[in-house]
Structure 1
């Protein structure tokens, strides 16, 4: 890879700006100052520094967002706010998109990446990637509701795949539950509870595959995946 392309990919600036950095002797490769923008490097083997700070090469970017209500899980919309509006400009890399959809009024874990192949794998029905939600639902629930979820809920002409349901506690606002599904159909969790005579009052995704919503990540905030989380995510679809 050309050095100027590497530096631009790492978001140090435009091609023109990074060439100026090279001319200013601010870039070193393997402990030697480099001024040639066409110099070839191997990102996996060579070490590159800018102003004495090591540059970390990432082929793809992965962010975990705690989505608040009121935002569309989309990259752009003419009238509504999207989840990309919550991302700082320097992190909105080319091709960044949300993996899957959370409804406008649903909160919680949303993965954003520019790795299109991974996004496709995570959403593929063949991979059976689990999604776990915490919901507050309107009582009462049928006494056999857990069995119904395990057997697969029917809603109109649709039969959803078997799902896990755990009843946690009764609250003034409804029954707190955890539901784990392996699909991601439109309004799926809401439709499943409608089918058993209930309604979802609030819905939050807390897990997706190996990823868990961090307890210290407040609504509307995001962070880059840790190296461990990234490895777990990639290995989950191997």
Structure 2
């Protein structure tokens, strides 16, 4: 059972105060009967709740993929820059979605968002070694032993040892890089350690979930039920 103001707030119908006003004005019904008390408890799975005749489609958890554009901060709020939450309808802020991991401000591509903390934790926890595939455009001379150095585990400038990673050249100075950890600026720092400067970085996939190429930069879509497990599966 759930208070109706919590259900409606989670579903994007306003603050508790705004929902209280909706109830007082008779705009909210439960199973066809007016509900004037915003503290009434309902069963989201069994009761039909409507606001001004519109049936509320309650979902406990949301799972989204976003094609993150450059220039947007991976955060729920930021005083100076636009965030990935600002790209979504108010419903998702009301449902308290948050990004799963992070992409740098200038990095583009697949970003997952959810309000399911357990699901997010299973994706980002190092013990699960979820793979992430990036395409990096670089400047600099490509070392002859590039593949071997990545496979052995790059040592960053501060002495941090990275886990073994895979790098594959797909065009001149453009590489597909697969890592299974998510340290701060990791891909850029790994490339810098072999004297390659990353000029553009795009995340292509997380686990077995690839970015939907039909999504324009800044666009998003809900994951299908069968896709929710894919970030936790191997390539």
Which of the five TM-score ranges fits, normalised by the shorter chain?
A: 0.7 to 0.9
Per-residue displacement from partner, 1:9-32 (whole Å, max 9, x unpaired)?
Answer: 3334554256368x568543xxxx
2:154 alignment counterpart? 153
Under a length normalisation based on structure 1, what TM-score does the superposition of the two structures give?
Answer: 0.81
Give TM-score, length-normalised by structure 2.
Answer: 0.82
Aligned counterparts of 2:136 and 2:164: Cα–Cα separation in 1: 18
Report Cα offsets for 1:160-193 as digits up to 9, x if no partner.
10011111122xxxx2211010111111111111
Q: How does 1:1-238 map to 2 (within 5 A)?
A: 1-2=1-2, 4=4, 5-12=6-13, 14-16=18-20, 19=23, 23=26, 26-28=29-31, 33-35=32-34, 38=40, 40-41=42-43, 43-44=44-45, 46=46, 48=48, 50=50, 55-156=56-157, 157-170=159-172, 175-233=173-231, 236=233
> Structure 1 residue runs of 4+, over 6 Å off?
none
SS at the partner of 1:66? Answer: strand
Once the two structures are TM-superposed, the CA of residue 112 in structure 1 deviates from its matched residue by 1.5
- Work out the CA distance in 2 between the residues paired with 1:3 and 1:74: 29
> 54-63 or 69-78, which moves further after superposition?
54-63
Question: Per-residue displacement from partner, 1:91-122 (whole Å, max 9, x unpaired)?
Answer: 32243221112111111111122222322222
- How far apart are the structure 2 equivalents of 1:148 and 1:19? 64
CA contact (8 A) 2:12 2:92 kept: no
Seen in structure 2, the aligned counterparts of structure 1 residues 6 and 138 have a Cα distance that, compared at 3 Å, is same
Write the distance in 2 (CA, Å) between the matches of 1:81 and 1:25.
34
5+ residue gaps, structure 2: none
Q: Are 1:47 and 1:54, in contact at CA under 8 Å, matched by a contact in 2? A: no
Q: Alpha-carbon deviation of 1:139?
A: 4.0
Paired with 1:93 and 1:9, the residues of 2 have a C-alpha distance of: 5
Query: Which whole-Å CA distance do the structure 2 matches of 1:194 and 1:40 have between them?
Result: 56
Question: Any conservation in 1 of the 2:11–2:95 contact (CA below 8 Å)?
Answer: no
Structure 1 residue ranges without an equivalent (≥5):
none
- SS of the counterpart of 1:92? helix
Query: Structure 2: how far apart are the matches of 1:150 and 1:25?
Result: 60
| SS of equivalent to 1:167 | strand
Matched residue count: 225
Q: CA offsets, 1:56-90, max 9 Å, x none? A: 33112222111111111112222222222222223
Any idea what SS the aligned residue of 1:90 has? helix
Report the secondary structure of 1:207's partner residue: strand
**Is the CA contact 2:30–2:47 (under 8 Å) kept in the aligned structure 1?**
no
